[in-house]
Amino acid sequence: MLPAQQGYDRAITVFSPDGRLYQVEYAIETVRRGTIAVGIKSKEGIVIAVEEKPRKLQITDVAQKIFQIDDHIGVAAAGYIPDARSQVDNARFFSQSNKMIYDEAVEVETIAKHLADQSQQYTQYAGVRPYGVALILGGVVNNNTQLYLTDPSGTYISYDAIAIGSGSDQVTDFLEKTYNHELSIEDASVLASAAIYLSSEDREGTSHIRMAQIKTKTETFELVSDEQIAKYAKTAKEKYPHEKK
Amino acid sequence: MLPAQQGYDRAITVFSPDGRLYQVEYAIETVRRGTIAVGIKSKEGIVIAVEEKPRKLQITDVAQKIFQIDDHIGVAAAGYIPDARSQVDNARFFSQSNKMIYDEAVEVETIAKHLADQSQQYTQYAGVRPYGVALILGGVVNNNTQLYLTDPSGTYISYDAIAIGSGSDQVTDFLEKTYNHELSIEDASVLASAAIYLSSEDREGTSHIRMAQIKTKTETFELVSDEQIAKYAKTAKEKYPHEKK
Amino acid sequence: MLPAQQGYDRAITVFSPDGRLYQVEYAIETVRRGTIAVGIKSKEGIVIAVEEKPRKLQITDVAQKIFQIDDHIGVAAAGYIPDARSQVDNARFFSQSNKMIYDEAVEVETIAKHLADQSQQYTQYAGVRPYGVALILGGVVNNNTQLYLTDPSGTYISYDAIAIGSGSDQVTDFLEKTYNHELSIEDASVLASAAIYLSSEDREGTSHIRMAQIKTKTETFELVSDEQIAKYAKTAKEKYPHEKK
Amino acid sequence: MLPAQQGYDRAITVFSPDGRLYQVEYAIETVRRGTIAVGIKSKEGIVIAVEEKPRKLQITDVAQKIFQIDDHIGVAAAGYIPDARSQVDNARFFSQSNKMIYDEAVEVETIAKHLADQSQQYTQYAGVRPYGVALILGGVVNNNTQLYLTDPSGTYISYDAIAIGSGSDQVTDFLEKTYNHELSIEDASVLASAAIYLSSEDREGTSHIRMAQIKTKTETFELVSDEQIAKYAKTAKEKYPHEKK
Amino acid sequence: MLPAQQGYDRAITVFSPDGRLYQVEYAIETVRRGTIAVGIKSKEGIVIAVEEKPRKLQITDVAQKIFQIDDHIGVAAAGYIPDARSQVDNARFFSQSNKMIYDEAVEVETIAKHLADQSQQYTQYAGVRPYGVALILGGVVNNNTQLYLTDPSGTYISYDAIAIGSGSDQVTDFLEKTYNHELSIEDASVLASAAIYLSSEDREGTSHIRMAQIKTKTETFELVSDEQIAKYAKTAKEKYPHEKK
Amino acid sequence: MLPAQQGYDRAITVFSPDGRLYQVEYAIETVRRGTIAVGIKSKEGIVIAVEEKPRKLQITDVAQKIFQIDDHIGVAAAGYIPDARSQVDNARFFSQSNKMIYDEAVEVETIAKHLADQSQQYTQYAGVRPYGVALILGGVVNNNTQLYLTDPSGTYISYDAIAIGSGSDQVTDFLEKTYNHELSIEDASVLASAAIYLSSEDREGTSHIRMAQIKTKTETFELVSDEQIAKYAKTAKEKYPHEKK
Amino acid sequence: MLPAQQGYDRAITVFSPDGRLYQVEYAIETVRRGTIAVGIKSKEGIVIAVEEKPRKLQITDVAQKIFQIDDHIGVAAAGYIPDARSQVDNARFFSQSNKMIYDEAVEVETIAKHLADQSQQYTQYAGVRPYGVALILGGVVNNNTQLYLTDPSGTYISYDAIAIGSGSDQVTDFLEKTYNHELSIEDASVLASAAIYLSSEDREGTSHIRMAQIKTKTETFELVSDEQIAKYAKTAKEKYPHEKK
């Protein structure tokens, strides 16, 4: 920690002399400390996946870092997970309201902008800290796959494939090298598995991988079964034999 | 205490340069300073147990760290107990409201999420400190045993067996080694007694052990009598002869 | 004062790195600085007593540290007495409301919980300091003697006999050694006198002892007359000849 | 000023590690810096008196530190006098309300408690400083003389005779030695004069003495005339020839 | 500035260890830095006067430091003049309200108390600083001359003659030596001129003197013309030939 | 910056030990850092002028530092111009309200007092900083020319001619030497041009001079055309050949 | 960072001794750290352009730093982009309201003033930080091209051509040298491309250039296609062969 930073990071979010918002940067650091999360768009639908490290007696029926927002939209989170839940609840309510008002499924971008707008406000107003979480929102609306990233700064951006959390720089490099627009949803799921192996300390088992798909055909969020994940993971290890770090 | 922490822990909950929320971590430290609490799921119901160290003239009819939320749900707490009471009151009110609105017994997860959501808010908004307590919520709904942990960060997770408070790392190791899904409620109660002996300074008597059961058969919260605890404890000492620390 | 504490005790109640709430601990220190107060349960009713050190021209008709809450409930306080008055007013109002709503005398535990809940809130929310007082609440409801302690942390616990304030550790030891469940109210009053002599600098006179009884027979709060106190005190000095400190 | 106090006295009223409320203690110091005020109960009524040091061209018709609350109640103040006025206004309004609601003259204790309750609140809640004044309230209700002291801590206590402000320790000693319950109101007025001479720098003239009486016979607040004060003072100097400090 | 004062004067008005309210004392220092203002009572009415140092092109039709409150009341101010305007507006509104409610001219003391009460509040509550101005209020009501001083502490006192602002100690000495109750309003006006010469750097001209009179005969506030001031000033220089400082 | 000032200028506007309001003085320093603005009263109307330094591609149709308030009133500003806009909007609304209520053109003094009152409040209440701008308000009402200055302290004063902003001391000296009451509006406009040349770094061109007139004849605010300014400037350079600094 | 600045930049926006608002200056520094944005007025309409540096898998259909406000108005932003979105949403709502109230297209200046007024308020009131973004607003209303800049201070100014963000000083110099009023919209688009090349690290490709036009003929905001940008860029590189830095 440099002495020049002293004071700028203690109080409510304020600008430093070099024009930075330290509290926002620290919140992004919280995201970087979280386990990896990835989202990949395929021509057949969206895949989102996260690494979860359950304790031995933890019941893993329910994913901690993957959430369903609506029939057709899911979220993968990295960072401070209780904050993710707060944003997910907000998104679910917003999505239902939208459906009731407009009588059609909400666009993923509409939700991403809604969450990002709230995140921006939490960087500008006193009495609240910024969110400490980044979200990958994926969904299919009217045959159209959509993948968005939101972060603590209030930014939201659309990607073909994106990784957040610990090791995301390395994983993003990997995705940029291997991604192409002709991926089937199976290919994308294998790629997502490979991405998690790349960042994780556990490069053998699959109990630490959680995955969900929203297929273009069904436009429906589905958690991928442990058996299916195991198959994807096996293929991933063959196809992308990462060297050990 | 490291100098680098100075300032991040004084004011309202804010991020440190390494992306941590110190006030939340300190609140979790408050939990770690509390006496041990355990929750164990068995095929016949839930067992929760705590260590209480009453003063000599204290009247111990009423458990200080075990609370009933509803007919079918109980809580074991570790940390700052007045905060536990605040959350328990909240849970009781929420549970009754739920019953009146939906005319059916509330799920344990619904309450766990409700309490965790409030805990998350107390880490994000100014004018309030985070809760200094972790709760083990156990219950049986529609023949279904449920065991949840909430903590000051706003996290809630389901477990087969879990320990919180002083010595919980060691106790968790013990539970992970000994737990299996075929435990009867008697087995689970013996295991809970053994868990408390493992953490406690008092490894002989039973006056410091408080226990409650919610049996699948009755779906009803019941405090275990001192006599019954003594029997469980006797078996525990025979079956799990922990070595002295 | 240790340097490591600097900062944690200045602002609103926050957690220290070791998980402590210093403002609450300092408030409890305020209680420890107060003169001794004791409460003792007997089979014939409750006795509460305090030490008061009036100035010479002070009118001592009205006790400063013993309060009546309702017909059947009294309080003995140690610590910052104006705070005690604030809590007593709250308890009186709560007790009357309770009587009007339920048409029966309020339980002592109900009041103890109500006061403790407020105390807990004053440790969690900004804009207010914790209460600097501990209270011994004693009463008889439906032939049932009840004795409770509340403190600045928001804890409330039931006791057979309890002491708070200056020298309370020593007095509690004494009570634990001498207390038994077969005490008559006379015995308990003598014991209370002895307890105050143990802590007080004045070990001869009785002008510094204030006492109240709530007898099981009458279920009515009564201040004990100075003459009666003198008799209890005389017996106390014979029966429990504390050595001079 | 000791370094250990740094920080505890700056912000809103908070506890110090040794359980003290510095802001309250400093407010009491403000009282000690004020000129002397005394109140004395006699069998014929109440006497209150203050020292006032008017500037030469000040118009002294109106006492600055003696106030009438109601027909039968008066106040003598020491400390920060604008705060006294605020409390006096409060007391006047409270007294009139009381009369309208209950159709009888308010008790002095009722007012003393009301003012002390407000003072206590000003030590506990943020956004306001404690009062910097102590008040001696004296009155006669239903043939009953009443004399009360309130201070910045929120304490109120009844006395036969009491002094506050600069030199009050010495004056209190003097009152304790000379006071008896058979004083006539003339005796009490002489004693009050003597008390002020004891504390004042001016031990000859009487222009710095203000006095009021509430006689049992009339139950009416009356300012004592300068001529009458001169007589009391003359007698005081003969009867209580304090040695020069 | 002494180091011991550090901290007590920064935040909201709080007590220092020696019982002082520094913010109030600093506000009074603001008054002392203002130019001189005087008020003198005569048997024929009130005179108030101030020193104003206009810049060369300033239009001096309107006095900056003398204000009319009502037909029969005027104010002379020293200190932070924008604050004076705020209090004067308050007084004007209060005076009109009073007239409408009671259908008679308001007493000067009533206004003085009203302004002082507000000043006291501004020393006790957070979110506002004390007023930085002292006011001399003079008026004639029912043939009765009244002269009052209010200051930032919330004190108000009646005087025969009073000076505030720069050099007011010296001027007050002068007034105390020269004042008598038989002054005509002409005499008082001459005395006021002399008082301003005593404090001012400009001891020759009269363009820096502003004066108003409220005569007993008319009970009406009137600004004194420059010609008339010149006559008073000429007499003043002959009658009170202050030596040069 | 002197060390003794540390602390007084950080928080909300508070008094320093020498009775100064540093935040107000710093706001006035902001005014001094602004480019020059002047206002001059002539027998034929008011002239206000400012220096503006547009960037090369800036569109200069709209003056940045001269504003119209109403048909008959204009403003010239120096200091933090966004604050000027806030006050101008306030003045426009106030002026229209006034017209609607009283059905006549508002006096300039009425607006000046209104703005100054708001400025005073912004020096006294928490949660807002003082305005960082001074305003010269000029107008003609009922054949009567009026010129007022308001500043961050909440002061408002009437002048025949006044300058604010960078170099205003020197310009004020110049105005005091050259001003007379017989100036025609042409003379005043030439004088205003000369005043700006005196303070400006650009002593040749006229693109940096903005000017407005409110003529007595029309009682209407009019911006002066660039051609006309050029003529005034030419005459100014001949009549007042300031030496180069 | 100079030590003298310590303290002025931490808390809510306050003045420094030299009359500066550091928080505003730091917010402007945030703008300077953003990538370049330019706006150019031509006789045939407005061109706005920004540099965006998308990550490899980012979907670039949607510009991040160019926004449409209404049919006829667009915005280019530099600085903290989530803040830009907040202001853009505000502008869109304001623009629609305006249309509904007045039934005509809103002026660009009206929106610029509205946004700047909000920015000014965020520099004056507590509880919010200033905006960290500058906006170039361009539009065509009634055949009239309008180009405005707003910044964090609350300033808004009209320009023929303007650049903000990283390297804007150099780009502004370039625009001042090359701009003329006879530019066609094609010319202006080429100039905008050249401006971005001048500031950008990428001086070859065009994937980092985003551009929009509002033509006078259509009065409609249109994003420029990548193909068209490539053509403009090619011409720009030929016509303005900047030397490598």
**Helix intervals (H) in chain D:** 22-33, 81-102, 108-124, 168-178, 185-199, 226-239
E6 pLDDT higher than 50: no
Q: Report, as an integer, the average pLDDT of E79-89.
A: 97
Confidence of residue A243 (pLDDT cuts 50, 70, 90): low
Q: Report d(CA F52, CA C217) in Å as an integer.
A: 93
Cα C216–chain centre separation: 19
- B12: left (phi > 0), else alpha (psi -120 to 50), else beta? beta
Q: Which CATH architecture has domain C38-243?
A: 4-Layer Sandwich (3.60)
Mean pLDDT of D30-57: 95
Name the nearest CA neighbour of G196 among G78, G57, G25: G78
Q: Which of A20-24, A93-97, C182-186 has the lowest mean pLDDT?
A: A20-24
Q: Would you call G82 and A159 a contact, using CB atoms and an 8 Å cutoff? A: no
Q: Using an 8 Å CB-CB cutoff, list chain A residues near B3.
A: none
Measuring CA to CA, which residue among C229, C202, C200 is closest to residue C213?
Answer: C229
User: CA angle at residue G207 from G204 to G208, to 5 degrees?
Assistant: 85
Residues of chain C with pLDDT under 50: 1-11, 244-245
Mean local confidence (pLDDT), F32-37: 96
Question: Per the CB < 8 Å rule, is G124 touching F128?
Answer: yes
Do G and E touch, 3+ Cβ pairs within 8 Å? The answer is no
Is residue A195's pLDDT more than 50?
yes
Tell me the two tokens of residue B164. Answer: 């919180």
Q: In what order do the strands lie in the sheet with E161-164?
A: E161-164, E37-42, E45-51, E209-215, E221-223
Q: What is the pLDDT of residue G9?
A: 40
Q: What is the mean pLDDT of residues B124-142?
A: 93
Closest CA to G126 of A11, D10, A19: A11
The owner of tokens 């404090």 is E199
- For residue range C231-242, what is the model confidence (pLDDT) as tens digits? 999 999 999 987
- Which of C15, C113, C153 lies at the smallest CB-CB distance from B27? C15
Judge whether D57 and D40 are in contact, CB under 8 Å. no
Q: What is the ipTM of this complex?
A: 0.90
Q: How far is F142 from chain G (nearest CA, A)?
A: 33
Q: In the predicted model, is pLDDT for residue F4 greater than 80? A: no
| Amino acid F10: pLDDT | 41
CB-based contact F163:F18 (threshold 8 Å): no
Q: Which chains would you list as touching G if contact means 3+ CB atom pairs under 8 Å? A: A, F
* Mean pLDDT across chain F: 91
What pLDDT score does G128 carry?
A: 86
Mind listing the pLDDT tens digit for each residue in D66-123?
A: 999 999 999 999 999 999 999 999 999 999 999 999 999 999 999 999 999 999 999 9
A31: CB partners within 8 A, 6+ apart: A78, A79, A132, A133, A134, A151, A152, A164, A165, B19
Query: Look-up: residue for tokens 């996290």?
Result: B155
pLDDT above 90 covers what percent of chain E? Answer: 80
Where do the domains of chain E lie?
38-243
Q: What is the pLDDT of residues D76-89, one digit of tens each?
A: 999 999 999 999 99
Among E7, E15, E162, the residue with its CB nearest the CB of D129 is E15
Q: Which two tokens stand for residue E193?
A: 């001129």
Average pLDDT on E26-48 reads 96
B165 or C63, higher pLDDT: B165
pLDDT of G165 above 70: yes
Q: Note whether G85 contacts A: Cβ–Cβ < 8 A.
A: yes
Lookup: tokens for C172: 């509690």
Question: CB–CB of A16 and G6 under 8 A?
Answer: no
Q: Is the pLDDT of residue E118 over 50?
A: yes
Q: Which chains touch A (3 or more CB pairs under 8 A)?
A: B, G
pLDDT tens-place string over residues G128-159 = 899 999 999 999 999 999 999 999 999 999 99
For residue E118, give the H/E element and its range.
Answer: helix E108-124
Position B140 pLDDT exceeds 70? yes
pTM of the model: 0.91
Each residue's pLDDT tens digit, D187-212: 999 999 999 999 998 888 899 999 99
For residue B234, what pLDDT band results from cuts at 50, 70 and 90?
Answer: very high
Residue C120: which of B26, B85, B122 has the nearest Cβ?
B85
Q: Are A41 and A161 in contact (CB under 8 A)?
A: yes
> Is A11 a residue whose pLDDT tops 80?
no
Closest residue, chain A, to B173 (C-alpha): A56
- What is the b/e burial string over D59-86, where b = at least 16 CB atoms within 10 angstroms of the residue's CB? eeeebbbbbbbbebbbbbbbbbbbbbbb
Interface of G with F in 129-148 (CB under 8 A): 147
What's the confidence (pLDDT) of residue D204? 82
Evaluate whether chains E and C are touching (3 or more beta carbon pairs less than 8 Å apart): no
DSSP D136-203: EEEEEETTEEEEEEE-TTS-EEEBSEEEESTTHHHHHHHHHHH--TT--HHHHHHHHHHHHHHH-S--
Chain B residues touching residue C155 (CB < 8 angstroms) = 81-82
Comparison of pLDDT for D235 and F63, the residue scoring more: D235
> Are residues F17 and E9, on separate chains, in Cβ contact within 8 Å?
yes
Q: Which two tokens stand for residue A16?
A: 């430093």
What integer pLDDT is reported at residue A22 of this predicted model?
86
Question: Which DSSP category does B2 fall into?
Answer: -
What per-residue confidence (pLDDT) applies to D243? 53
The answer to whether residue G162 scores a pLDDT higher than 80 is yes
pLDDT at E5 over 70: no
Q: Is C2 on the interface with B (CB under 8 A)?
A: no
Interface test with A, best of B6, B8, B15 (most A CBs within 10 A): B15
Query: For residues F217 and A203, which has the higher predicted lDDT (pLDDT)?
Result: F217
Predicted pLDDT at C12:
59
CB neighbour class for B224 (10 Å; exposed up to 12, middle 13-18, buried from 19): buried
Could you read off the pLDDT of B51-107 as tens digits, one per residue? Answer: 998 888 998 877 899 999 999 999 999 999 999 999 999 999 999 999 999 999 999
Tokens of B127: 């004018």
Q: How far apart are CA E31 and CA C170, in angstroms?
A: 58
Q: Tell me: the pLDDT tens digits for D124-149?
A: 988 889 999 999 999 999 999 999 99
pLDDT attached to residue E35: 96
- Supply the pLDDT for residue D14: 77
Q: Would the CB atoms of D86 and E117 count as touching at under 8 Å?
A: yes
CB nearest to D18's CB, from C29, C85, C86:
C29
List phi, psi (to 5°) of B62: -100, 125
Cα B56 from Cα G239, distance rounded (Å): 94
Q: Is the pLDDT of residue B245 over 50?
A: no
**Distance of alpha carbon C28 from alpha carbon G22, whole angstroms:** 44
Contacts of G92 (CB under 8 A, 6+ apart): G69, G70
Q: Are B193 and B232 in contact (CB under 8 A)?
A: yes
Strand C161-164 relative to strand C37-42, pairing: antiparallel
Q: Residue A50, SS3?
A: strand
Is G16 touching F (CB cutoff 8 A)? yes
For the record, the structure tokens of C61 come out as 């008709």
G20 at the F interface (CB within 8 A)? Answer: yes
Task: Mean pLDDT check: name the lowest of C3-12, E183-192, F181-190, F234-243.
Answer: C3-12
Strands (E), G58-208: 66-70, 73-79, 133-141, 144-150, 156-158, 161-164
pLDDT score for C95: 97
Distances (CA, A) of B3 to A33, C22, C27: 22, 19, 27
Most confident option among A10-19, A55-64, G37-46? G37-46
**Are β-strands B133-141 and D161-164 bridged in parallel, bridged antiparallel, or unpaired?**
unpaired
Which amino acid, residue B229?
I
Q: How confident is the model at residue F6 (pLDDT cuts 50, 70, 90)?
A: very low
